[in-house]
Amino acid sequence: MRTLVFSDVHGEPAIITAVVGHSGFDPQTDRLIFAGDAVEVGRDSPGCLELLDELGAECLVGNHEFGVFTSWPIEAEPVEPSVQRRVSDDLASGRWRLAAEADGVLITHAGLGDEFLADFESAGSAASLAERLNTEFARAFEAGELAGGRVVDSAGPLWWRPGRGSEPLPGLTQVIGHTPPEVMHGPDAAELWAKRGIYLIDPWVRGWRQRGFEPPVPVRYAVIEDGSVRVVEG
C-alpha cells in the first residue's frame, strides 16, 4: 500500500484535484492523508473541506484550522461562519486528528522538535508517539484546555518549524507541511532536510496566489511505500 501525504492547500480545491491526478491515487489500494491547512488564504475553503471528505482522506489539524476553531484566525480576512462551524464540528468529532503514522514515519502538520524527545523515547515508535499526541489533544479538547497546552504551543506539531529553534527529533522520520518559503526555497533545502529525516511537502500556496494564479497549480506531496519516503513535485 502507498500512503500519499499532502498539505497546505489553503482554500484551493484545484490543488487537491491536481495531487490526486498527478499521484494516480486509487482509493482501493492507497491511503490518503491530508496534513493540515485546508482553510484560509485561498478562494474556496468550503470546497476544500468537502473534497477531502469525498476522497475519504485522513485529515490532520493545521494551525489555520486551529486558529479558525479558537476564533483567532491567522489571516486578516473574516472567516465564513459555515467554515468555522465545519472546522469546529470536525475537531469535536475527532475526525481531524493531530498526528498519523505510516511505515514508521510520523506525519503532522508542522513536525516535532527535540522538546518531545522524552515522549518519543517513552513511546518507543512513531505509531505510539502519534497515538500519544492524538490522545493528549483529544483530552485537552474535551476538557476545554487547549489554550497554552504543549501540543498546540510553538514547539508542538501545529507550529514547529525546521531551522527555527529546536533540532528535529533524532531517530524519527517525519513528513511535514507548514514550511516558510525561506526554508522551503533555500538552496537544496528540501534535500538537506530529507537527509535529517524531515520531508517537506508544503506547496507554498500563498506564493502561487501572489503570482496571480498562474498555471499550473502547485503540486507537492510525499509517497510513503515499503518503509521509504520520497517527495514528488509536479
> Is residue 92 pLDDT above 90, yes or no?
no
C-alpha cell at 71: 476564533
> Is residue 222 pLDDT above 90, yes or no?
yes
Residue-range domain boundaries for the chain: 2-233
Please provide the average confidence, as pLDDT, over all residues in the chain: 90
What is the mean predicted confidence (pLDDT) over 119-141? 94
Residue 164 near residue 182, CB atoms below 8 Å: no
Percent of the chain at pLDDT > 90 equals 62
> Is residue 164 pLDDT above 90, yes or no?
no
The three-point CA angle 109-214-81 to 5° equals 50
What is the mean predicted confidence (pLDDT) over 99-123? 96
pLDDT digits (tens, 9 = 90+) for 8-46: 999 999 999 999 999 999 999 999 999 999 999 888 999
Residue 74: C-alpha distances to residues 11, 63, 82, 156, 161 (Å): 14, 8, 17, 17, 16
> Is residue 184 pLDDT above 70, yes or no?
no
Is domain 2-233 in CATH 3.60.21.10, yes or no?
Answer: yes
pTM to 2 decimal places: 0.94
> Is residue 190 pLDDT above 70, yes or no?
yes
Confidence band, pLDDT 50/70/90 cuts, at residue 185: low
Q: Which residues, 6 or more positions from 108, have their beta carbon under 8 angstroms from its beta carbon?
A: 35, 36, 60, 98, 99, 100, 133, 157, 158, 174, 176
Region of residue 197 (left: phi > 0; alpha: psi -120 to 50; beta: else): left
- Highest mean pLDDT: which range of 135-139, 197-201, 217-221: 197-201
Confidence band, pLDDT 50/70/90 cuts, at residue 153: confident
Percent of the chain at pLDDT > 70 equals 96
Q: What is the pLDDT of residue 18?
A: 95
The three-point CA angle 72-183-208 to 5° equals 70
What is the mean predicted confidence (pLDDT) over 153-158? 89
